[in-house]
Amino acid sequence: DGGITQSPKYLFRKEGQNVTLSCEQNLNHDAMYWYRQDPGQGLRLIYYSQIVNDFQKGDIAEGYSVSREKKESFPLTVTSAQKNPTAFYLCASTPGGQGGSSGNTIYFGEGSWLTVV
């Protein structure tokens, strides 16, 4: 089945450590996104990528880094510079292309919980 796979589902990080969250899609989508969600809050955009080897900062990119070396993969690294990393992280993708219709539906992964210990 096609979809987005995020791993791990639960991750614990020690103070000062970098951790990487994986996001893989087999939908052949061009665009991929990372969001952060804090308890009781909406989704905030961290980074997004419209094409391989290109990505842009979202609204809360500080303390995070990404790469897009392959179309199907968009890993997110939470660096030690991120002071409050404990949150729920969601990866999403869209097909891209012209205009609207069902080709613009946004697909989400099941999310990853990151906790600082």
Partner 1 sequence: DAKTTQPPSMDCAEGRAANLPCNHSTISGNEYVYWYRQIHSQGPQYIIHGLKNNETNEMASLIITEDRKSSTLILPHATLRDTAVYYCIVRVLGAGGTSYGKLTFGQGTILTVHP
Under rule CB under 8 A, residue 8 binds partner 1: no
Applying CB under 8 A, among 11, 22, 27, 31 the residue interacting with partner 1 is 31
Under rule CB under 8 A, residue 27 binds partner 1: no
Beta bridge partners of 6: 23
Under rule CB under 8 A, residue 90 binds partner 1: yes
Under rule CB under 8 A, residue 43 binds partner 1: yes
- Distance from the Cα of residue 5 to its chain's centroid: 11
Least Cα distance to 47 among 39, 30, 59, 31 occurs for: 59
Under rule CB under 8 A, residue 113 binds partner 1: yes
Applying CB under 8 A, among 22, 30, 71, 80 the residue interacting with partner 1 is 30
Q: Which two tokens stand for residue 6?
A: 């995020």
Q: Which two tokens stand for residue 74?
A: 């968009």
What CA–CA distances, in Å, run from 12 to 5, 37, 44, 60, 70?
19, 16, 21, 21, 27
Applying CB under 8 A, among 66, 87, 94, 114 the residue interacting with partner 1 is 94
Q: Which two tokens stand for residue 102?
A: 């069902």
Q: Which is nearer to partner 1, 63 or 111 (CB)?
A: 111
Which spans of this chain sit near partner 1 (rule: CB under 8 A)? 4, 30-31, 33, 35, 41-45, 48, 50-51, 56, 58-59, 88, 90, 92, 94-100, 103-111, 113
